[in-house]
Structure 1
Amino acid sequence: MGNHELYMRRRKPDTIEVQQMKAQAKEEKLQKQLERQQLESEKKRREAIEKEKDQMIKEKEQLMHRLHEYEEQTKRAERELSEQIQKARELEEEKRRAQLEAERLEAERIAALRAKEELERQAIDQMKSQEQLAAELEEYTSRITMLEQARKVKEEEVGEWQLRAQEAQSDLLRTKEELHMVMAAPPLPPPPPVYEPVRDYVHENLHEDGMEYSAEFTNEYFQDDRKEEERITEAQKNERVQKQLMALTNELSQARDETKKTHNDILHTENVKVGRDKYKTLRQIRQGNTKQRIDEFESM
């Protein structure tokens, strides 16, 4: 076979069988490429699912940790508030004793003055001996001076106790503001959106985890003594202390600069207007099922 025949054979069009074989080979090649692309896409999708799952588990642990921190801050603020109330009560008792002592000394001073006046009158009326009158007068004068000094000391003590009571009241108000600030903490951020292919899978797993989480949350945070809801504060029991605290609060409100109010000051003012305190908040949180309790806590 010569070169011319080979050249002519190459120039001839392919037969139908050859064309079918080439088309079949091309189709098989495209099918393999499509399968490789599908496998690669499935691999990437599975990796994305695993990554989303790990991210959601991590965020769940972070949310649980932050919730635990909020609980600790609330308990610590309640302990500090109780200590401040006890301290204010002790200071009030010390102030009362100092006032009684000052009143007793004042009564003795007045009695001494009256005795001095009586002696002076008797000296004029009866013309007693000058030595005896002078001695008695000096004695009562010395006693009056001593009582005057004691009265001044007691007045200083009363002022000191008054100042300490005001400081305790300021600490009490600051502790209450810290408690309101913890209870009014911003809600936790929602988790990032998940991809559509993993929605059913994630929902199913979250449903199972949510059942376990609700049970753990109920056992850990809501199975405690609920006597706190029915507690009556000492300020509510003692009408006189309550009136004094109200008067101090009014004085502080008048002295406060309205242009320098913080966000916590505004929240505290709103809570006072509607009559909301920590015991009402605890009762409100503990009403309803677990989901409602979590929603109520996050809405604060």
Structure 2
Amino acid sequence: MQVKYGDYSQEQHKSGCLASDRLLPQRVIGQYKMSTEEWERRIMVWWADHRGMNRDAAMLEYLKIAQDLDMYGVNYFEIKNKKGTELFLGVDALGLNIYEKADKLTPKVGFPWSEIRNISFNDKKFVIKPIDKKSNDFVFYAPRLRINKRILALCMGNHELYMRRRKPDTIEVQQMKQQAKEERMQRQMEQERLAKEMTAREAAEQKQREYEEQMNRMREDMERAQRDLEIAQETIRRLEQQLSELHEAKRVLEEKERELRDLTEQLQSERQMSEEERTKLIDEIQHREAQVTQMRDAVEQKTVETNELQQQVEEYRERQHVQSNIINVASAASSNSSYNHQHTSSNHFVGEHNGHDDLTDAHVELMVDDDINYPQTELDRVTHTEQNVNMKHKLEKLTAELDQARVQDGLSDYDVLHMENKRAGRDKYKTLRQIRGGNTKRRIDQYENM
């Protein structure tokens, strides 16, 4: 996906966008209890892990992993040895390998191209002469003549490439390789710079989104504070009205109390008053006392209500003060953070640019040897997965997850063989070291006795 479409984008690559792609062989899909949509979701997650990798690098990583597979680049041909045993001959870039009929994963005998001196065939008989003159010829029989022709062509091409790869490079080739290496380094540095800029830009955009969310929350807080302020102002207006009514009630109460005192004094001073007048005055005093008591109760009730309103006003004012302080502090912090982030990002980009321009030197090592040597470097090689610990852990985790959805009945014979090799700790290069052990004569004898 990385090679074909580039970086994964959540906005662009929606669910179902890979429906027309052949993501996996049908044989593999049938081995797991997973739908096409589930496979697509998993592949998109793995695809997103390769963000920032260009198409060439992605293809190279793919080939590094693919070349470590047991059957990668192998052309299989049905053959028989002198005993008539049916076997498979595997022709690949590293040499010739002999497989048993039931196992095309694990070769039993191997011959690197550097050990082969001459190849020929006569009808269905194919003869390979090793460099070791003490060894017998490597002879096998193909079922048809045209198969021998194809084997011969593959042997010639792979042998030529194998020897050419292992010859010391000329000065011109070394210079071309060095130039290509410098160009790759330049591209890689440019990609790293762009990746860092992209990461910094994404971080800045994330910060901007956070600031916008923070400003929205602050705006909501301010609107809520404004509503509280309006409620407080209405409460204050009611309080002022209540206070005015309370003052008026107290004034009327004081006036009634004064009239009551006057009547009481009048009653006490008028000794010669008639009984009728006295009774009338007492009734008037009692009526005034009832009015005063009623008004006193009303004043006390208004006082209680006024105190409650005053307390509410104080609470609103305190809350408004706290909210105002919080908003001011948040605004100041947001401004400072925004300035610091922009200042830091700017310095980061300048620093990256200056560092990129300073890296202009490179080390070149030229090796020239008059004695041509053809080392079998594949014997010292380990798989790309073993070299990359992070990838190894990812693949182990992926394998564990997929094993839970695996359908055991859907496993092929080669799946079982691969799992057995994996449990035994065998891989392609460990097997090569094993089957190329000993001299050529011993391996040819081993082949003849299969």
Shift of 1:86: 2.8
- Alpha carbons 1:99, 1:158 under 8 Å: kept: no
Distance 1:27 1:198, change over 3 A: closer
- Alpha carbons 2:243, 2:306 under 8 Å: kept: yes
Q: Deviations over 1:66-106 (max 9, x none)?
A: 23432342343234223312311221111211220232122
1:107 aligns with one of 255, 264, 274: 255
Q: 2:194 is aligned with what amino acid?
A: R
1:187 aligns with one of 323, 333, 342: 333
- Alpha carbons 2:193, 2:352 under 8 Å: kept: no
1:196 aligns with one of 337, 344, 350: 350
Distance 1:184 1:51, change over 3 A: closer
Shift of 1:140: 1.5
Q: Deviations over 1:237-296 (max 9, x none)?
A: xxxxxxxxxxxxxxxxxxxxxxxxxxxxxxxxxxxxxxxxxxxxxxxxxxxxxxxxxxxx
Shift of 1:139: 4.0
Q: 2:266 is aligned with what amino acid?
A: E
Give yes or no for the alignment of 1:54 onto 2:208.
no
Structure 2 equivalent of residue 223 of structure 1: none
Task: Name the CA distance, whole Å, in 2 between partners of 1:108 and 1:179.
Answer: 48
Structure 1 equivalent of residue 321 of structure 2: 176
Task: Name the CA distance, whole Å, in 2 between partners of 1:157 and 1:21.
Answer: 107
Q: 1:133 is aligned with what amino acid?
A: R
Q: TM-score, normalised by structure 1?
A: 0.50
Instruction: Return the structure number with greater helix share.
Output: 1
Structure 2 equivalent of residue 147 of structure 1: 292
Task: Name the CA distance, whole Å, in 1 between partners of 2:313 and 2:247.
Answer: 18
1:160 aligns with one of 283, 301, 305: 305
- Alpha carbons 2:263, 2:281 under 8 Å: kept: no
Shift of 1:127: 4.5
Shift of 1:107: 0.7
Task: Name the CA distance, whole Å, in 2 between partners of 1:93 and 1:51.
Answer: 62
Q: 2:231 is aligned with what amino acid?
A: E
Task: Name the CA distance, whole Å, in 2 between partners of 1:38 and 1:53.
Answer: 22
Q: 2:317 is aligned with what amino acid?
A: L
Instruction: Return the structure number with greater strand share.
Output: 2
- Alpha carbons 1:92, 1:165 under 8 Å: kept: no
Distance 1:109 1:41, change over 3 A: same
- Alpha carbons 1:105, 1:151 under 8 Å: kept: yes
Task: Name the CA distance, whole Å, in 1 between partners of 2:309 and 2:203.
Answer: 53
Structure 2 equivalent of residue 291 of structure 1: none
For residues 208-227 of structure 1, what are the structure 2 equivalents within 5 Å? none
Structure 1 equivalent of residue 142 of structure 2: none
Q: Deviations over 1:136-164 (max 9, x none)?
A: 31441343144224313313322331332
- Alpha carbons 2:225, 2:320 under 8 Å: kept: yes
Task: Name the CA distance, whole Å, in 1 between partners of 2:353 and 2:228.
Answer: 46
For residues 1-300 of structure 1, what are the structure 2 equivalents within 5 Å? 22-122=170-270, 124=271, 126-129=272-275, 132-185=277-330, 186-188=332-334, 189=337, 190-191=340-341, 192-193=344-345, 194-196=348-350
Structure 2: runs of 5+ lacking an equivalent: 1-167, 355-450
Q: TM-score, normalised by structure 2?
A: 0.35
- How many residues get paired? 178
3-state DSSP of counterpart to 1:55: helix
- Alpha carbons 1:78, 1:179 under 8 Å: kept: no
Task: Name the CA distance, whole Å, in 1 between partners of 2:304 and 2:169.
Answer: 111
Structure 1: runs of 5+ lacking an equivalent: 1-19, 201-300
RMSD: 3.0
- Alpha carbons 2:232, 2:316 under 8 Å: kept: yes
- Alpha carbons 1:113, 1:144 under 8 Å: kept: no
Distance 1:166 1:42, change over 3 A: closer
3-state DSSP of counterpart to 1:195: helix
Task: Name the CA distance, whole Å, in 2 between partners of 1:140 and 1:74.
Answer: 59
Shift of 1:22: 3.2
Task: Name the CA distance, whole Å, in 2 between partners of 1:21 and 1:168.
Answer: 91
Task: Name the CA distance, whole Å, in 2 between partners of 1:64 and 1:29.
Answer: 51
- Alpha carbons 1:77, 1:178 under 8 Å: kept: yes
Task: Name the CA distance, whole Å, in 1 between partners of 2:234 and 2:353.
Answer: 54
Distance 1:21 1:86, change over 3 A: closer
Structure 2 equivalent of residue 229 of structure 1: none
Distance 1:21 1:159, change over 3 A: closer
